[in-house]
A and B are shown apart, each in its own frame.
Chain A
Amino acid sequence: MATAEGSIGRREGPISRLGRRRSLQLEAMLPLALTALVAALVIYPMGMVVFGTFWSAAPGQPGTLTLENWAAVLSDSATFEVLLYTLAIAIPRTLLALVLATAFAWCIARTNAPCKTLLEGLLVFMFLLPELPWVLAWMLLGAPNVGLLNQWLGALVPGGEGLINVYSYGGLIVLGAARSAPVLFLFILPALLAMDATLEEAARMAGASAWRTLWRINFPLLLPALLASGILSFVVAMESFEIPQLLGTPASIFVFTTRIYDLAYGGHVANFGAAMVLALILLALTGSLIVVQWRLLCGRSYTTVSGRGFKAQPLDLGSGRWIAFGVIFAFFVVFGALPFIVLLLNSFMELSGFISWEMLTTEHWRNALGRDEVLKSIMDTLMVGVAAATLGVVISVLISYVVTRTGWRGRKALDLMAWGPWAIPGLVMSLGFLWAFVWLPIYGTLWVVVLALVARGLPVASRFFTSTMVQLSAELEESARIHGGSWLRTFLRIWLPLLRPAVVGAWILLFVIAVRILDVVVLLAGSGVHMLSVDIFLWTVTGRQEAASVLALIQTALVVVGCVGVRLLSHRALQQSVH
């Protein structure tokens, strides 16, 4: 609350004895100021992406306007290869994740599978675990021949050590699906729970078997939700950076994101122009898909007279209930617990990739924690996280207020802009901010990173507050105004206290996103600023895997602590965030 006060005070000057007149101005100024700020965070960097496609040099370098970049990219057959590979990985990844997530959600929402609360909790927990350490762990587990899984399999069956290779199409698809499934699960579960159970019961009474009911009634009713969440998951798969960069690039599998990164920062001569053109194409793809997805969600008209809301009788799976439990639990063990346990054990081994008692050592931890750059990385990450979460919450609360509680004419546009970053791939956002701020003095400081993360968090946090605010009666505010409260006082004394649970939940969520995200900050953190995620990534690709593991575990710990906080404070928060 103190921060919100500070920010309003800063923008509009202190409230003096002329408070009445000033707050009137404030009320009128706020939407405009807010719109300008959000435009600077969303529209301006994306505009610079467009500009970058026509610039002959790297960002901030002298150059000329040119069409060369477009000509080069569009005439290069590699461009279409990249598009093809991106789709060839994203489509099966999404379908596999969709099947898994629907099956899991079904078991938990509609059957008598045992320990459903535990299973749901485990899947939510998997969704929160950071991606980068997870990928690091899979590099240890699934490397061809020498990976730990291959070592164990080789000990079990002759020739088993050749079975698993994460540096492959199969690896990218399976591991990607394993990351997407818990997210999709969180989208599909509420849709399943919200489905009117009497529609099913009516089918049973009309003589349909359980299977026919499933196929003829449940599936068509669920289709809009499946399609909408499937598209979102497909977009996330196309935007994915960590998995294809660390697992695909070594096998010469390039997708949009990794190709962009390679062009801008790879081993070749940097070709920023080409990178920008690819980034814009990717942005156009994801953007149009998000628009389709939005339409689908808005156009859902399956509302009927609601009954008294009898809870559906759970489907009796018989002894199959334990199989359902076993499958979901095994999914958690293999794709949730195992990677982090292995990462933890590995950080205490002399030689990465071999786990045994004789190699036990605390050397890597002592090394890492004794180094100034590691401590700086932790400190910077915490500072960025706190700043991004605080600023993000303040801006989002104000956006939600203007969108839901005022009649301001531009509120639809503001809402749309705040929603925009859903459609912007993290790496493209990173490029946009690079172009947008490279010539400003804040470039190279924590502030550019903070601003990028604020932009990334806008859709998450403002959805959060909007859904809370529409549930609160406007009369609460009107009554405060009638009884002599100024606009500012009403906002601070009525709205903020009412929103406190959402504020706390959103703050922690934004903090967690800031700590774990890589793609948004990968081009922004570098010389001056150290972010844990970027350091883990850079150290891994430069062969300092032991130290990277230690950092990855610290990052995981920060995220888990934050998430336990979210879990305790607000369950809804988790269901509305995707990245």
Chain B
Amino acid sequence: MTAIRVTGLRKLFGAVPAVDDVSFEVESGSILTLLGPSGCGKTTTLRMIAGLERPDAGEVRVGDRVVTSAKEGLHVPPDKRRMGMVFQSYAIWPHMNVFENIAFPLRGKRLPAAEIREKVMTMLQSLGLEGLHDRPAPLLSGGQQQRVALGRALVGEPDVLLLDEPFSNLDARRRDEMRFELREVQARVGVTTIFITHDQSEAMILSDRVVVMNAGRIVQEGTPEAIYQRPSTQFVMEFLGQVDQVSARVATAPDGSSRARVVGVDDIEVPLDGSHSWRHDDEVVLMLRSAAVQVRAANGAGGWRGRVLSRIYLGERTEYVVGVGTARIRAFGPTTDLHDEGALVQLDFPPDAIRIWPAARLAEKTREE
């Protein structure tokens, strides 16, 4: 069942569209992530769903209820949308203690005091905040503030939970902990959730579906696996993980199929698929996902071979920079069996770690179209 449907959302800041023609749907009870670099329009999109901004065009539906429609001039105020939200700054009210912060949504509903107390205490317990109910808000740590913000967003049993980069103010350890905790809480409550982040690993861990945005528009949408394995543009591929670029040219093989030949190294060839209409001698870019590239000692000729340019010991594994022709490729190897600088090595990777795009000039042209 579709819980949220966003259609043709657009927001102008001055004459510049911050969000342009954004449409997506969120299944009931699932987590959808809006992923993108800062300034891509993801926060503005979330704020329009929350009712904190009015769109210049488009519509937002929650269940069968239209909450925002630019065409009809309809705008349900944020407090009437039955949503909960965790802000990036947490927005914990500094003049109230923990209990009052969490009880706020319930007090607005005029519930009896005993019921409010019970609900807040249950919430505190489930968030691991027992005993902190009378602590003044300014005395909370970052992680505690985040839990209070989450408790406040959930206590009123909203239809929709909105999370605006909730982990960006936490240190790395707390962040890992809270990601899994959030996933658990969300699954238990079963609330439909829209989550915003610029961190691709967060998106991978938390989402049922991911919407990648750039420059105000949706670039790709799908499950985390689909997006990681089949990025539709160079931008998505680069955004989802460390990538090295290798220049190549299109060459026609004797059997008539097209191949990309790495510039400066004659014997490395990659078969081209039919996703573009390749022409002989066109410049192309090979993009190689570093995380999937393994280093081993060179044996035999052919394949991806190069010399070690530098080596960094990372503890759990070793990172190498390997020169292949004119390109520098990052790759990984075990901490045993080290290769020295200058050594000839072989690079191994699965076929789906490499993707081929028309070179920048052409790529820009296709993007404009």
Contact = CB atoms under 8 A, between A and B. Distances in A.
Interface of A: 196, 198-199, 201-210, 212, 216-217, 220-221, 223, 301-308, 310, 313
Contact of A205 (B78, B89, B109): B78
Nearest to B104: A206
Interface in B74-130: 77-79, 82-85, 87-95, 104-105, 108-109
Contacts of B109: 207
A204 B52 contact: yes
A313 B88 contact: no
A202 B87 contact: yes
Contacts of B200: none
Given A208-B79, A305-B145, A202 B156 contact: no
A196 B89 contact: yes
Nearest to B105: A206
Nearest first, the 7 closest Cβ-Cβ pairs linking A and B are A307-B89, A202-B91, A206-B105, A204-B78, A198-B91, A205-B85, A302-B94
Given A217-B93, A302-B94, A205 B77 contact: no
Interface size bracket, B side: 35 or more
Nearest to A209: B79
30 contacts: A196-B89, A199-B94, A201-B52, A201-B91, A202-B91, A203-B79, A203-B104, A204-B52, A204-B78, A204-B79, A205-B50, A205-B52, A205-B78, A206-B79, A206-B152, A207-B79, A207-B82, A207-B156, A208-B108, A209-B77, A210-B77, A210-B79, A221-B93, A302-B95, A304-B89, A304-B92, A304-B94, A304-B137, A305-B142, A310-B47
Nearest to A301: B138
Given A207-B156, A307-B87, 14 more contacts: A201-B50, A201-B78, A201-B85, A202-B149, A205-B84, A206-B104, A206-B152, A209-B79, A302-B95, A304-B89, A304-B92, A307-B88, A307-B89, A307-B91
B84 A206 contact: yes
A307 B92 CA distance: 11
A198 B89 contact: yes
B153 interface: yes
A216 B47 CA distance: 22
Contacts of B83: 205
Interface string B39-51: 0000100010011
Given A204-B79, A205-B78, A313 B52 contact: yes
Contacts of A221: 93-95
A356 to B, nearest CB: 53
Interface string B324-361: 00000000000000000000000000000000000000
B308 to A, nearest CB: 42
A198 B104 contact: no
Contacts of A203: 79, 93, 104
Interface of B: 43, 47, 50-54, 77-79, 82-85, 87-95, 104-105, 108-109, 137-138, 142, 145, 149, 152-153, 156, 162, 169
B153 to A, nearest CB: 7
A304 B90 CA distance: 9
A301 B94 CA distance: 9
A201 B138 contact: no
Contacts of A304: 89-92, 94, 137-138, 145
A206 B87 contact: no
A131 to B, nearest CB: 37
A202 B77 contact: no
A305 B79 contact: no
A199 B93 contact: yes
Nearest to A306: B89
**Max chain B C-beta neighbours (<10 A), residue from A206, A301, A310:** A206
B88 A308 contact: yes
**Max chain B C-beta neighbours (<10 A), residue from A205, A210, A305, A313:** A205
A382 B47 CA distance: 56
A313 B53 CA distance: 7
A226 to B, nearest CB: 13
Contacts of A308: 43, 88-89
B91 A196 contact: yes
Contact of B152 (A202, A305, A313): A202
Contacts of B104: 203, 206, 208, 216
A216 B84 CA distance: 18
B335 to A, nearest CB: 39
**Max chain A C-beta neighbours (<10 A), residue from B83, B93, B137:** B93
Contacts of B152: 202, 206
A243 B304 CA distance: 91
A203 B152 CA distance: 10
A303 B108 CA distance: 25
Nearest to A220: B95
A205 B145 contact: no
B116 to A, nearest CB: 13
A299 to B, nearest CB: 12
B343 to A, nearest CB: 46
B169 A305 contact: yes
Nearest to B38: A308
**Max chain A C-beta neighbours (<10 A), residue from B50, B79, B85:** B79
Contacts of B162: 205
Contacts of B51: 204
A301 B137 CA distance: 11
A206 B156 contact: yes
Nearest to B83: A205
A316 to B, nearest CB: 10
Nearest to A307: B89
Contacts of B52: 201, 204-205, 313
Contacts of A302: 94-95, 138
B90 A305 contact: yes
A217 B43 CA distance: 23
Nearest to A199: B91
A568 to B, nearest CB: 27
A308 B91 CA distance: 12
A220 B96 CA distance: 9
B26 to A, nearest CB: 17
A18 B258 CA distance: 83
Contacts of A301: 94, 138
Contacts of B43: 308
A306 B94 CA distance: 12
Nearest to B84: A205
Nearest to A206: B105
Nearest to A219: B95
B73 to A, nearest CB: 12
Given A199-B91, A199-B93, A307-B89, A212 B77 contact: no
Contacts of A204: 51-52, 77-79
A205 B153 contact: yes
B53 A305 contact: no
A305 B93 contact: no
Contacts of A310: 47
A305 B144 CA distance: 12
A228 to B, nearest CB: 15
